[in-house]
Amino acid sequence: MGFKLSEIAEAIGGRLEGDPDKYIEFISPFETAGENHITYAGKQSFVDQIPDSSAGAIIVSEKVSIQGRNLIKAPIPYVAFAKVLQLFFPQPAIAGSISPDASIGSDFSFGDNIEISARAFVGDRVTFGDRVRVYPGVFIGNDVRIGSDVIIYPNVSVMDKTIIGSRVIINVGTVIGSDGFGFAPDGQKYHKIPHVGFVQIDDDVEIGANNCIDRGTFGKTWIKEGVKTDNLVQIAHNVTVGEHSVLVAQVGIAGSSTIGTHAVVAGQAGIAGHLKIGDRVTIGPQAGIAQNIESGQIVSGSPEMPHRLWLKVNRILPRLPEMRKKMKDLEDRLLKLESKY
């Protein structure tokens, strides 16, 4: 499958400079793109190499202009390139059928063109919108509501009362609405605290593989519009993740914490419970967050500190043995001087 450059430019909302009839057969990285390939130059180092590139077409920023090359100009070349990938690799068509090997509960209501694969389980009083695709091995509990254009990949578990919006993707092995981690100690043993709430996932969310999102103790755990999570993310009971925030692999968020909008939490960062993380906060990898963070801050380290301070601390750490030796030498010299008087 291929497209003319004019078709690609129109599909991604870019401005074409070059041959509109140039036929593009594939997408490639900048370094390996050939005569009938399209690529993108997101960095200045790649832009500088465009005259020597063999690529048939290159997506660039609106500022770039190079004579004799086929260019598609876009405000953000990386986003435009993502749209080209979607154009060349669309989701397969929905079969529009329910497998006879699927288990469907009572009072199941659904919209147009849904697909439920073999060995999937759908509980009682479940509602689907249009164009919902459920892969093999999926478990959907009772009283679950799912919007339109949702993809649920194999071996996902969606527990009772979960609410899922439209255009949501849930990747392999994720568990949504599992029981929260709550136990009351009496000095001898732990007594289980039932979690009777639910999980709400808003529109345009993508959940990575093997995530665990616990339901609320009371009320809800809430993943708001546009949130993206990587693989192996843990979100505890009654957590709220604000709109268009990103949680990278192995992030863990303890119960009842709130993440603001457009936040980025890097890999293996941990956030303690009952904290408030502001809007547009960036948390560095492996950071340990033990206090509230105001909006707009960039923090790193464990315990967390401003990122610039963390950089200074990390430059000093390898020198600590040497600094300790110098301090010991100075201490010995000072003691010798004092002993003379």
Rounded to an integer, the average pLDDT of 319-329 is: 92
Distance CA 173, CA 211 (A): 7
Give me the pLDDT at residue 92, please. Answer: 87
| pLDDT, mean over the chain | 96
Q: Tell whether the model's pLDDT for residue 42 goes beyond 90.
A: no
* Percentage of the chain modeled with pLDDT above 70: 100
Question: Do the beta carbons of residue 175 and residue 211 sit within 8 Å?
Answer: yes
Confidence grade of residue 136 (pLDDT, cut at 50, 70, 90): very high
pLDDT 10s digits, 57-112: 999 999 999 999 999 999 999 999 999 999 999 988 898 899 999 999 999 999 99
Spatial CA neighbour of 208 closest among 257, 163, 153: 153
Distance CA 2, CA 169 (A): 26
232: tokens are 């192996």
CATH 3.30.2390.10 fits 3-88, yes or no: no
The amino acid occupying position 183 is F
Give me the pLDDT at residue 336, please. Answer: 85
**β-bridge mates for residue 176, sequence order:** 158, 213
The set of catalytic residues is 237
Q: Tell whether the model's pLDDT for residue 338 goes beyond 90.
A: no
Question: Do the beta carbons of residue 97 and residue 113 sit within 8 Å?
Answer: no
Give me the pLDDT at residue 162, please. Answer: 98
Confidence grade of residue 295 (pLDDT, cut at 50, 70, 90): very high
CB-facing half-sphere around the CA of 62: CA atoms within 13 A: 6
pLDDT 10s digits, 159-201: 999 999 999 999 999 999 999 999 999 999 999 999 999 999 9
64 burial level (CB within 10 Å; 0-12, 13-18, 19+): middle
Give me the pLDDT at residue 339, please. Answer: 83
Alpha carbon separation from 190 to 171, 184, 185, 195, 222 (Å, rounded): 34, 5, 4, 15, 27
Confidence grade of residue 1 (pLDDT, cut at 50, 70, 90): confident
122: tokens are 């759908």
Q: Tell whether the model's pLDDT for residue 337 goes beyond 90.
A: no
Give me the pLDDT at residue 116, please. Answer: 98
Distance CA 166, CA 199 (A): 15
Give me the pLDDT at residue 190, please. Answer: 97
* Percentage of the chain modeled with pLDDT above 90: 93
Spatial CA neighbour of 94 closest among 150, 169, 164: 150
Phi, psi of 23 (to 5 degrees): -95, 125
CATH 2.160.10.10 domain position(s) in the chain: 156-303
We find that the CATH architecture of domain 156-303 is 3 Solenoid (2.160)
CATH 3.40.1390.10 domain position(s) in the chain: 3-88
